[in-house]
Structure 1
């Protein structure tokens, strides 16, 4: 029991990892714990739109563990283009440390989910990636492009980073977002670069 409690208390640190997007109606940045919860709910809600049937419990599990490494590494904006290999190596070290707080069987179970998400090869991982990539977009659309404008993110950069994983994981969601992103571009939500 103590190992589980130690693990859960370690996860509390995820609440202190700030991201670049603001929650709706709040004058602060969201944190990674909020993000993980929200994308798990997004995936559960979108399950009927998966291109192939998915084990939604597995998807939710991936989404709940995918950013745990940020406790040690911090968050990097999804539109960053450099240093991903180093970042992923650091996250692996972090999740290995954090999951090792658990009894071996649970540590292995969570590591398998984390690695499946990272590899992105299963239907569940592709669907999870679609939800992960979509949520910052949905918040930016609702916040008049707040994070995009503040961080100098262009429409083309958003499309290049999010279109492939969302198309692969949930084409119906991409159809919706593609139209919304075109509308947002017309409204000036992006850095003009």
Structure 2
């Protein structure tokens, strides 16, 4: 199957009432638990945020919730290939949290250089808005995980980012190039993106290079 996903222009989503306002929780639930349940319901929005990558198993684009689940499973299965020992549970927490801000900020495709200019500001504003909905200790914890992932200063964050970069490349392999076929994406561009995989795992980076070489041989990259 080959499906090249249409480009999407990310932007701050319109400020809408929180989902819980449709049907507030009944009285008698403690404030802390109510905040936690309301947050859990609010992040259901992640299932509506579409990414540029197409699924391998269906003729549609992947959403952020599916992407995050896939990364968590990849961490569980591939942690043995990390260049540095990693705490698997902590790394899974990183990949589960890393895209939550896109609920309000939207996804920023790698090929969209215009949207990339405002990405950091949009995502920081989204993080402040989203994580403030949790009890303070948990909001600070999730915000710290998000910041750790973005900074890539710990072994866990480097491996989490490697998974985040490897996963869409695997989908592109099954989709006969997928987003690699977009204008301006050359084999050198793809190799440049693969550097983040190698940064977390030289062995996975070497395996990915074989996929990139074969994809280019088949004409899937310029």
TM over 0.5, shorter chain: yes
For structure 2, list consecutive stretches of 5 or more residues without a partner in the other structure: 1-32
Contact 1:36 1:64 in 2 (8 A): yes
* Alignment counterpart, residue 138 of structure 2, candidates 73, 95, 106: 106
Instruction: Provide the residue aligned with 1:169 in structure 2.
Output: 200
Find the aligned partners of 2:61 and 2:184 in 1 and give their Cα distance.
17
* Bigger helix share: 1
Number of the residue aligned with 1:35: 67
Match of 2:51 in 1: 19
Query: Aligned with 1:19: secondary structure?
Result: strand
Instruction: Map 1:143-182 onto structure 2 (within 5 A).
Output: 143-150=175-182, 152-163=184-195, 165-182=196-213
| Contact 1:79–1:158 (Cα < 8 Å) also in 2 | no
Q: Please give the root-mean-square deviation of Cα atoms over the aligned residues, in Å.
A: 1.4
Please state whether the residue corresponding to 2:54 is helix, strand or coil. Answer: coil
Q: Normalising by the residue count of structure 1, what TM-score does the alignment of the two structures yield?
A: 0.93
Instruction: Please report the TM-score for the alignment, with normalisation by the length of structure 2.
Output: 0.81
- CA change 1:67–1:168 in 2 (3 A) is same
When Rg is computed on C-alpha atoms for both structures, the one with the higher figure is 2
Q: Is the counterpart of residue 129 in structure 1 residue 161 in structure 2? A: yes
Aligned residues: 190
Correspondence for 1:94 among 126, 134, 140: 126
Aligned to 1:65: 97
How far does the alpha carbon of each residue in 1:14-44 deviate from its partner, in whole angstroms, 9 at most, with x for none?
A: 1111111111121110001100110111111
Q: CA deviation at 1:149?
A: 1.6
Contact preservation (8 Å) 2:194, 2:208 = no
Q: CA deviation at 1:147?
A: 2.0
Q: CA deviation at 1:141?
A: 0.5
